[in-house]
Every structure is written in C-alpha cells, then in structure tokens.
Structure 1
Amino acid sequence: MKRLFYLVNTIDSVESISEDLHRDGVSNWRFHVISKDDAGLYSHHIHTASVLDRTDLARFVERGLIIGGLFAAFFILPLALWGGLEWPTSAFVAMGVFAVLAGGWLGGFGGIGTENYRIRRFHKDLENGKYLIMVDVPKAEVERVEALMAGLHPEAALRGESSSVNNPFAAADGRVHIMH
C-alpha cells in the first residue's frame, strides 16, 4: 500500500474529494484527514485521522519493543545461561517478556506526544488552517487515483507519498518521497 498526501485549503474541497473517492471505491478506512478544525470535519461527516496517524505512538512502541528485546538478549539471556543462578527457566522467560513489554510501554510515552514522522513536514501548513488528506492505495491503483485527483481536484496537488506501514527505523525528520 502507498499513502498519498494532498493538501487543500477548504473544507468544501475536502468534502468534495471525500465524495469522489468514496464513489471510486475508496473506503473510510483508506481515507484520513488531519486538520486543526476537527469539529468542522465532524460536522461535514469527514473521516478524521486516528491517533496512530497523528502521533508517532506505533513507531515508538515498536522501537521500545526492539530495545526491550535487545535488553533481554544481552542481559537476561546471559544471566540465565551463565549467571550461576538456580532459578527456574520460567523466571528468566518472565523477566525477558517483562523487559520487552516494558520497553514497548515506555516507548509509547514518547510516541504519544510526538507528531507522526510522515506528517511532520506538513506541520506549518496544518497550523495555517490547511487540510491534509491521506489516501492509502494499493500500489497497482496509485496511477488511477492520482489521475482521478488531478482530473477532478486540481486544487489538491500531490505533496508526497510513503508506505502506509510504519517503519520504526525511518528518518526522524519525516522524509517521504517528495513529488516535484
């Protein structure tokens, strides 16, 4: 799946784009809008982006799980194998599981307060009242959706694309493939 990013200036454009994309078969689950005006989106029955689209929660949880797993591998596993402790194996497994889950939980604290790395480059536009439309499209349908948007909504210039899957190792500056 590819995620296409479009910026528009008005809620009327967002509503018109939403109707056209729905008519073309794009469901609400593949269409997300971010705006300062959440009440306006709600009153126009526009599908808003979830907390996972707005924040870096998922990416930070993934990073925390990885760090917890590395902690378990480098500290708890050697302790279990060569530590000389007479504890049951289940105690070491429990400590390893705890390390992984604690890493994910702690990572979530950082992610919930951090703007999603994919939308960070649109921060100034969103603060200035624009609407960011994100459309998740199967790779085989990208050209068709881009043509539909260019033909029906020239006011919504394609501003970038990325994968719709989180990447815990993505650049922190929000780099996505930029359209020129």
Structure 2
Amino acid sequence: MRKRIYWLLPDLDAARKTMNELLLARVSDRHIHFVAEDGSDMTGLHAANILQTSDLVEAAQTGLLVGAGLGAAGGVVAAYVLTGTGAAPQAVVIALAGLGAVLGTWSSSMIGSSTPSRRLKRFEKQIAEGQYLLMVDVPRTRVTDIEELLERTHPEAHFEGLEPNVPAFP
C-alpha cells in the first residue's frame, strides 16, 4: 500500500527540480503527479491525469455498490413476479444485480469524471495563484525519507499533508 504526499511548490523551476530529485531518489515517474492552473507550462513534469484530478474512482465505486444493490432488489421483485413461470429466481436476481452494477458504475463514472476531486479542493486557491501541487505516491516505508529529502532540498516548498491510503488503481 502506498501513501500520497502533498507539497506545494512556488513555481515551475522548483517543480522541475523536485521532479528530477524524486527520479534520482528512485521514485517512478508514474507515481509523481503535478497539478497546476489550466494553461500553465508543464514542460518536464508528469501532469496528473483525470484519475488524480477528479472523483472518477470514488464515483465508480459508489455506482457499483448502489447499482448492484438496486439491481438485486429489482431481481428479487422480478423473481417473485416470475414465480411459477419456470424461470430460475436466483438467475434473475444475479443477472439484474450484474446489470445494475454495470449501469451504476458506468453512469456514476461519467458524473465523477467531470467533478473536481474533493481531495484537491483545499489547494484551489494556491493553484490559481500559480503554485504547483506535487502529489507523490510512495510506499509506507519511504514516506519519511521522501519528506526529509524535500524538506532539505526545497525550503521554499510547503508540506501540505499525507493521504493515508492511495488506491492501487489510479
């Protein structure tokens, strides 16, 4: 399991230097994400994608659970109605639960992909002012090492917290 560390960097130059130092510290570039104001220069940085900047993953998970639950409930009702027609009630419940899960995941992920991440909401002001947000995902055993590296090499940067659990998917 990984933890996500947040740092605010004042400008592009500091962000580039930080990116290079993290790469030299053997942090893979797929675990380093930068967020900046729309239209900002991101040359030399690994920009965060929709998985890091939106609520897509959380929305899809919620849609999966709600859709499966509603589909299963509809399946129970359908099985009750179809009793005596020869249809297997368990198959109807399972089929409608699966269909509900698929439709719930799809529709919720469409909404979630267009919703800004609630985790990044607290950084909106600083990003709008031109700062760069660094999100670096590191194994639990390396959190202290990476924090010390960034504190030592970038006194102008601000540590902004630690997210306890980063999903493996994004």
Q: Quickly name the TM-score band, shorter chain normalised.
A: 0.7 to 0.9
Give distance in 1, aligned partners of 2:144 and 2:39.
Answer: 30
Give distance in 2, aligned partners of 1:11 and 1:152.
Answer: 15
Q: How far off its partner does 1:40 sit?
A: 1.2
- Please name the residue that 1:113 is paired with: 114
Which ranges in structure 1 are unaligned for 5 or more consecutive residues? Answer: 167-180
Alignment of 1:1-180 (within 5 A): 1-37=2-38, 40-41=41-42, 44-80=43-79, 82-85=80-83, 86=85, 87-88=87-88, 90-162=91-163, 163-165=165-167
Q: How far off its partner does 1:118 sit?
A: 1.6
Give distance in 1, aligned partners of 2:105 and 2:126.
Answer: 31
Q: How far off its partner does 1:96 sit?
A: 2.1
Contact in 1 for aligned 2:68/2:99 (Cα 8 Å):
no
Contact in 2 for aligned 1:55/1:115 (Cα 8 Å):
yes
Structure 2 length normalisation: TM-score? 0.87
Runs of 4+ in 1 over 4 A off after TM superposition: 88-92
Q: SS of the counterpart of 1:33?
A: strand
Contact in 1 for aligned 2:78/2:92 (Cα 8 Å):
no
Identical residues among aligned pairs (%): 27
Which deviations, in whole Å up to 9, do the C-alpha atoms of 1:21-43 show, x marking residues without a partner?
A: 100101111100001155511xx
CA-atom RMSD in angstroms: 1.8
Letter in 1 for 2:30: W
Q: How far off its partner does 1:77 sit?
A: 3.0
Which ranges in structure 2 are unaligned for 5 or more consecutive residues? Answer: none
Q: Which moved more, 1:86-95 or 1:9-18?
A: 86-95
Q: How far off its partner does 1:74 sit?
A: 2.5
Give distance in 1, aligned partners of 2:118 and 2:162.
Answer: 13
Q: Alignment length, in residue pairs?
A: 163
Letter in 1 for 2:65: I
Letter in 1 for 2:160: R
Q: How far off its partner does 1:126 sit?
A: 1.2
Letter in 1 for 2:148: A
Contact in 2 for aligned 1:38/1:48 (Cα 8 Å):
no
Letter in 2 for 1:153: H
Give distance in 2, aligned partners of 1:77 and 1:30.
Answer: 44
